[in-house]
Amino acid sequence: MAPTFLIVGATGNTGRGVVEALPKLLEASEVFSTYRVLALTRSKDSDVAQKLAKMPGVEVAEQNWTEITVDWLRENEVVRAFIASHNQPNQFAEESTFHINALNAGVEYVVRISTTAANVRPDCRAYYPRSHWAIEAMLSSQEFKALKWSSLQANGFLPLFLGSAVEYIKEYRKTGKIGKFATILSADAPVGLIDPIEVGVFAAHLLAQADITRHNNAKYVLNGPEDISGQQVVRLIEENIGAKVEDVEFKDMSMIDWMAANTKESKNVTLTIKHALDTVYAGECSVSTTSKEVLEIAPPKRTPAQVVRTMLEG
């Protein structure tokens, strides 16, 4: 077995970008050319997992990351790792256990997915950014000095925010009917949403750095190449259907209400997700916040219009 780069959540929205980019970067490296990429998934039978398994230098394995132990990390010779955790209320307990095990197993470096940069603070009214803040505070402590790490704070993923627009376009193409369009975005506030694959590509570049000293304890803000607002999403729809959309609801929170009504967790906690958009509505998440290192290493290129086209073709 060779020293290993571990990708947790390899078939997810960011993990797939890591696995697709990392093997070529390692192959070109004087240091890591003999290392392997171990991509974890919940099902090796999925289309994405099977595609990744065909890539040279990639091994796909079924493994619940929350059950990874110190012994497992040692047995698999994991030296560097990528993790995109869930955002459920028990995130801190499960992700912190992963990092503690990585520390004790001698893992050198971890790149993790965080959340909207302006929300990662102890007083955020939405619950899950506080978990990310707590994880980053833990990793910054003296006790974790031996484990180097970077957090990627993307301000929002394009497919998530554009999903309702894509469904609207598809429905219009089926029926020809102009209906009501609702979006969680506000009408005017700009936000630098990013294709999650490009977040994964940046993570791969960090993992492949021979010397990661400058990236240790780093928190990088990621955005796409251009801002978008709710009104601009409406224009994207109109460009794709060739018709005017008159009935529009901005700041639509109905999905979060539905989540709270159907959750097995605390409804009160789930409803705080609505406050995750406060900083977006305040204009604090524009492309102007992008970290310079992101632009230097792997600048995102995919625009909202390009992502909409890809989603329509999928």
Give the side-chain half-sphere CA count within 13 A for 29. Answer: 19
Of 74, 56, 3, 54, the C-alpha closest to 32 is 3
- CA 28, CA 38: separation in Å to the nearest integer? 18
> Does position 97 have pLDDT exceeding 80, yes or no?
yes
Q: Which two tokens stand for residue 93?
A: 């307990």
134: burial class by Cβ within 10 Å (0-12, 13-18, 19+)?
A: middle
pLDDT at residue 168, as a whole number: 97
Looking at residue 255, what is its pLDDT? 95
* Residue with the larger pLDDT of the pair 53 and 232: 232
pLDDT higher than 90, residue 57: no
Measured between alpha carbons, how far is 290 from 156 in angstroms, rounded to an integer? Answer: 12
pLDDT in tens, 232-291: 999 999 999 999 999 999 999 999 999 999 999 999 999 999 999 999 999 999 999 999
Model confidence at 45, pLDDT cuts 50, 70, 90, reads confident
Please report the pLDDT score of residue 86 as a whole number: 94
Rounded to an integer, the average pLDDT of 176-204 is 97
Contact predicate 34/220, CB 8 Å: no
pLDDT at residue number 44: 87
Query: Going by C-beta distance under 8 Å and a sequence separation of 6 or more, which residues neighbour residue 277?
Result: 184, 186, 251
- List Cα–Cα distances, 39 to 7, 129, 148, 207, 285, in angstroms: 5, 26, 21, 14, 31
Taking residues 104-122, what's their average pLDDT?
98
Local structure of residue 153 (DSSP, 8 states): E
Predicted confidence (pLDDT) at residue 183 exceeds the cutoff of 90: yes
Mean pLDDT of the chain: 96
Query: Which backbone phi and psi does 225 adopt, to 5 degrees?
Result: -75, -15
Q: What is the pLDDT of residues 5-29, one digit of tens each?
A: 999 999 999 999 999 999 999 999 9
Q: What residue ranges define each of the domains in the chain, with the CATH number in brackets?
A: 4-154+195-222+292-297 (3.40.50.720), 158-191+225-283+301-313 (3.90.25.10)
For the whole model, what pTM was predicted?
0.96
Enter the tokens of residue 312: 């329509």
Which tens digits make up the pLDDT trace of 67-80?
A: 999 999 999 999 99
Counting every residue, how long is the chain? 314
- The mean pLDDT value for 187-197 works out to 98
Pairing relationship of beta strands 109-113 and 248-249 according to DSSP bridges: unpaired
